[in-house]
Amino acid sequence: MRPDRVLFSATGFTKRDALAYYKRAASVLLPHLKNVPVSFKRYPDTVDAESFWEKDAPAFTPKWVKTFSVPRRAGGDDIHYILINDLRTLTWLVDVGMIEIHPFLHRVPRIDVATSVVFDLDPGAGATFSDCCRVAMMLRDALLSIGLKSFAKVSGSKGLQVYVPLNTPGVTHDATEIFARLVAEELARAAPRLIVAKMAKQLRKGKVFIDWSQNADYKTTVSVYSLRAKRDAPFVSMPVSWKEVERGDLLEFSPDAPLTKDLFAPVLTMKQKLPLRATQPPRRLADARRDRGRTQSGRREFEISGRQLWLERDHWILRESIHFEERGIYELIEKSAQRFDLWFSGRALRGEWILQEIGNEWSLTPSVPTA
C-alpha cells in the first residue's frame, strides 16, 4: 500500500525505506520480539500529521497474525495484543503505518513474570546526553556492586536506557518495579544535583530523570532496533557498548547504521537474580495490603531497616541509617506534601516522630514536645 508515501517530510524517508530497514534489521530484532506483546504507533500520513497508539489489534488484522488476549483492567472486551514473531507480521505492520515498536517486559503466556528490569534515563531541560552517560555509568557500577550485569541502548530520542536481564521464573513486575525504584532513589540521594527519581516534571530541570516506573506490568518501552519518529529524521534505538557510553559523546544512529553484531543478545538469555530483600515488600506488609478494607482503623503496619522505611504501600529511603530493625504499628496524625506526623507503637520506634523532606532527602526524627 503506497510504498512511496513519505513518512519524514524533511528527509524524504518513505515507507519503502522503513520496510527496507526493518527487513535488514529482522535477524537481530525478531528474537527480541518473539512472543512479546507489543503496542505500536501508527502514522497514516507523515510523522508530522495524525498518529495514534494501537494496543488492540486493528479490525483489519489478517487472521495469520498471532495475537494474545489480555483482560482490560476496567472490564469489557479483552485487548488482543499483536505478537511480532516473524518477518511477515513485521512487514505487514510497517505497511499499515507502524514506525515505532514498544514491547512489554514479559513474554506470553506468563505476562506476570518480568524478563528484565529497565531504567529509562531522560534528560530534563538543560541536561545533556553526556549527563545521561554519566548517570548510566553510575547505574552500571551500582548494579555491578550487587552482582548484576546491565546493557545499554540509546532511546533513539534524547536519552539512554539500561536493561538488567533476569530470565528467571517467578520474578513479578511488582518486584522489579520496587527494585528499580530503590536503585533510582539511592542514586538520586547520592547525586542530587545530577539525578532525580521523582515523577514531578518541574523537578527535572538540569537533571537526568531515572524513570523506574517503566517496570510496571502495563508499561512498554521502545524496542531495541526500533525506528523512532521523534524528530525530523528517523533514528534507531540502538544497543551501545559501555565503552561508547563512557566516552560521553552524542550517540545517534540512522537507519543506515551497520547491524553486524547484536550487543543486546545477552538480554535474551542471561539469567540473574535480584536481591531478595529489594524485590518484595515484607510478607506481613503484603498480608496487610490484602486485608485492606476489612477495618476502618487507622492502624497500619510499618517496617524499618537501615535507611529503608515502609509504611503500607509507600517506601522512603532515609538520609541517615537507623541502628535497629523492626516491624510494628503506626498511625498517621497529620500530613502534608513534605511532612508526615506519625505515631509509632513498636518496641524501639515509639511515640510521635516526624518524617520530613529536607532538600531531596527524607529525615525521620522524634517530635519535640511543645511546652
Q: What is the DSSP letter of 149?
A: -
Distances (CA, A) of 309 to 35, 205, 258, 324: 38, 28, 48, 12
Distances (CA, A) of 253 to 145, 304, 314: 31, 46, 40
For the stretch 175-190, pLDDT in tens is: 999 999 999 999 999 9
CA distance 259 to 208: 29
Neighbouring CB atoms inside 10 A of 331's CB total: 15
Burial annotation 95-123 (CB, 10 A radius, 16+ → b, else e): ebbbbbbbbbbbbbeebebbbbbbbbbbb
Cell numbers placing 231: 524528530
- Contact present, 105 and 115 (Cβ < 8 Å): yes
- Report the pLDDT value the prediction gives residue 176, as an integer from 0 to 100: 94
Confidence of residue 347 (pLDDT cuts 50, 70, 90): confident
Half-sphere exposure of 156 (CA within 13 A, CB side): 25
Length of the chain as a residue count: 371
- Report the pLDDT value the prediction gives residue 362, as an integer from 0 to 100: 86
- 207 pLDDT more than 90: yes
Lowest mean pLDDT of 110-119, 170-179, 303-312, name the range.
303-312
CA distance 110 to 106: 7
- Report the pLDDT value the prediction gives residue 90, as an integer from 0 to 100: 98
- 293 pLDDT more than 70: no
Confidence of residue 300 (pLDDT cuts 50, 70, 90): confident
List of domains in the chain: 6-276 (3.90.920.10), 281-366 (no CATH)
- Report the pLDDT value the prediction gives residue 371, as an integer from 0 to 100: 46
Neighbouring CB atoms inside 10 A of 246's CB total: 13
- Report the pLDDT value the prediction gives residue 283, as an integer from 0 to 100: 44
- Report the pLDDT value the prediction gives residue 369, as an integer from 0 to 100: 61
- Report the pLDDT value the prediction gives residue 195, as an integer from 0 to 100: 95
- Report the pLDDT value the prediction gives residue 276, as an integer from 0 to 100: 60
Confidence of residue 289 (pLDDT cuts 50, 70, 90): very low
- Report the pLDDT value the prediction gives residue 294, as an integer from 0 to 100: 37
For the stretch 33-44, pLDDT in tens is: 999 999 998 898
Query: Percent of the chain, pLDDT > 90?
Result: 64
CA distance 178 to 173: 8
What are 227's strand-pairing partners?
Answer: 236
| Helix extents (H) in the chain | 15-33, 87-95, 129-144, 173-190, 242-247, 266-269, 283-290
Ordered DSSP codes for 334-346:
EE-SSEEEEEEES
- 309 pLDDT more than 90: no
- 231 pLDDT more than 80: yes
What are 309's strand-pairing partners?
Answer: 304, 316
- Report the pLDDT value the prediction gives residue 73, as an integer from 0 to 100: 74
For the stretch 51-82, pLDDT in tens is: 889 999 999 999 999 999 998 877 788 999 99
Confidence of residue 272 (pLDDT cuts 50, 70, 90): very high
- Report the pLDDT value the prediction gives residue 102, as an integer from 0 to 100: 97
- Report the pLDDT value the prediction gives residue 368, as an integer from 0 to 100: 74
- Report the pLDDT value the prediction gives residue 316, as an integer from 0 to 100: 81
For the stretch 104-131, pLDDT in tens is: 999 999 999 999 999 999 999 999 999 9
Mean pLDDT (whole number) for 22-28: 97
Average pLDDT, the chain: 88
Is the preceding omega at residue 234 within 30 degrees of 0, hence cis?
Answer: no
- 141 pLDDT more than 70: yes
Cell numbers placing 242: 559501555
